[in-house]
Structure 1
Amino acid sequence: MRTEREKKLITKYWLFGGGGAMLLGSGLATLLHGSKLKEVNADPWFWVSTGGFALIMSGISMIGDANRFRTMADVLKELDARGLKE
């Protein structure tokens, strides 16, 4: 059975993982749109592409945080199984 702290960490894992995946996908789409704008010599292509890169990096960061939350939950579970938890 999971403790309240583990449940909070798992909830954060799912929220950050899902949000990060959404940002990563949106960033890729935005970056490709900026690439298309550059092909047709549209004026705002640079800013659209920069926004796409920012979304991609934010998504990767959130996925990394999700990984950290999952690891912390697994460590708490392992400590609980060993009887070493407070």
Structure 2
Amino acid sequence: MGKHHKNTLRRMKLVCDIVQQHYEPGNYAKSYRKVWKQYVYPVYPCCYDTLLKYINTPLGELHEDAGDAKQLKLFDDERKN
């Protein structure tokens, strides 16, 4: 997938956390579709295909950037007295 916005990455991580909590391989009652229908869709309305894209996104893309290198800081973290 391409570059994602910060909120999209956050939503992807939250959805993946919900899926990891409730999904059980081999158990039809807790398959991806059932987890999507019971737990994900009521909180984050998205289609099933979107859920599968979120799950298949590499973990490296889910980590938020520490900050933009071009962004100036308003306050210095290290104050010198």
TM interval, short-chain normalised: 0.3 to 0.5
Structure with greater contact order relative to length (CA < 8 Å, sep ≥ 6)? 1
Task: Return the index of the structure with the highest Cα Rg.
Answer: 1
Q: Given the two structures, how large is their TM-score scaled by the length of structure 1?
A: 0.36
Greater per-residue helix proportion: 1
